[in-house]
Amino acid sequence: MSEEQRSIKPDQPAVYRIEVQGALDTSWEETFGKLRIEHQVDRRGAIITTLTGEVPDQAALAGVLNLTYSLGMPLLSVEYLRDPIAAAL
């Protein structure tokens, strides 16, 4: 991916993949906006919840991370996937 494609601004939407340890029920999807909730089991048998989707801006991203923290779910990773505006062009 070129540097131009990875350009991101704090006040613009972006698509992320966030992984936390533990099982977050899919009933939380509405609370997390456009984020899809999926589960997998790692090689040690621990449940990993993956939140994937568009976040309106980085303040909203911080809100998602704070909510998972307040639910006692350790953060494993945050991955920027793409700029939805550039992807639509």
Two tokens at 86?
């550039």
Beta bridge partners of 57: none
Q: Is 40 helix (H, G, I), strand (E, B) or coil?
A: strand
Q: What confidence tens digit (pLDDT) does each residue in 2-13 have?
A: 444 567 899 999
Provide the strand spans (E) within 1-89: 14-21, 36-41, 47-55, 75-82
pTM beyond 0.95, yes or no: no
Q: What confidence tens digit (pLDDT) does each residue in 34-81 have?
A: 899 999 999 999 999 999 999 999 999 999 999 999 999 999 999 999
Helix, strand, coil percentages in the chain from 3-state DSSP, rounded to 5: 25, 35, 40
Query: Which domains, from first to last, does the chain contain?
Result: 14-88 (3.30.70)
Tell me what pLDDT residue 34 has: 81
